[in-house]
Amino acid sequence: MQVKKLEKRFGGLTAVNDLSFDVFPGELLSIIGPNGAGKSTLFNLLTGIYKPTSGSVAINGQDITGCKPHEAARLGIARTFQKTTVFREHSALDNVIIGKTLHAKAGVLGAILRTPSHNRKELRTVEKAREILSFVGLVHRENTMVEELTEEARKRLSIAIALATDPSLLLLDEPTGGVNIEEIGRLMDLIQRVQKSGVTVCLIEHKMRMVMSISDRIIVLNHGRKLAEGTPKDVSTHEGVIQAYLGGRHAS
């Protein structure tokens, strides 16, 4: 992904300001910064929820500036949200099937007539959903209603739903928010396995120990601008980052 001079203004507030960076294939890139730095606004711009005031976004050289969320998904961009978004009245398996079905090119006539081709697609969809649940460690909970799942399991399920769209780029907005230290470790392992499976990962996170341990590269935002960019070592020793965000430490 290539982001060039991206800007988003809300009235007199500039949430993202002259921001440029690349996301390289296969890497794990973390976006950090204080509250209000523009991180979630940035994700909303990359996935078409917001239209930028100016600047551009491209994926594999194709301009997707201002595209709609479903168009971004079809181009291989998936995301999770800071507040875990799942279909609470459905089972874990149904959630992944819904995610897979929404991404697929549905054949309406085939669905109505229940053609053999449509039935085969349904079976493949269920099989794929089970494979994804197995990958995220939830296959044993496939028939469990979402309301009965722990917060960590819901985090895993939200990642599974995103993976159901077969993304090349996965955006994770605070994937370990609201879970305990032991659960953070398990979610870190899952995120690294997602990357190793060939999916490029870009995440927003506040837990500095996690960010420093799993990131290939880090971008630091402050007041919507890029304050620093580099390896975890580069960022952790950057004087401006220490003053603006890390407070002289990164062990939280």
Task: Report pLDDT digits (tens) over 25-61.
Answer: 999 999 998 888 999 999 999 999 999 999 999 998 9
Q: Are 194 and 8 in contact (CB under 8 A)?
A: no
Burial of 111 per CB tally in 10 Å (0-12, 13-18, 19+) = middle
pLDDT computed for residue 231 by the predictor: 96
Q: Look at residue 23 in the predicted model and tell me its pLDDT.
A: 97
pLDDT < 70 regions, the chain:
85, 102-120, 245-252
Domain 1-76+167-252 falls under CATH 3.40.50.300: yes
Predicted pLDDT at 66: 86
Q: What pLDDT sits at residue 120?
A: 66
Q: Report the distance separating Cα 47 and Cα 63, nearest Å.
A: 12
Rounded Cα distance, 133 and 24, in Å: 27
Euclidean distance between CA atoms 79 and 224, whole angstroms: 20
What pLDDT shows up at residue 106? 45
> Tokens 């491209």 map to which residue?
58
The domain limits of the chain are: 1-76+167-252, 87-165
State the Cα–Cα distance between residues 94 and 75, nearest whole angstrom. 24
Q: Which residues contact 199 (CB under 8 A, 6 or more apart)?
A: 163, 167, 168, 169, 170
Quote the crossing angle between the two packed helices 92-103 and 151-163, to the nearest 10°.
20
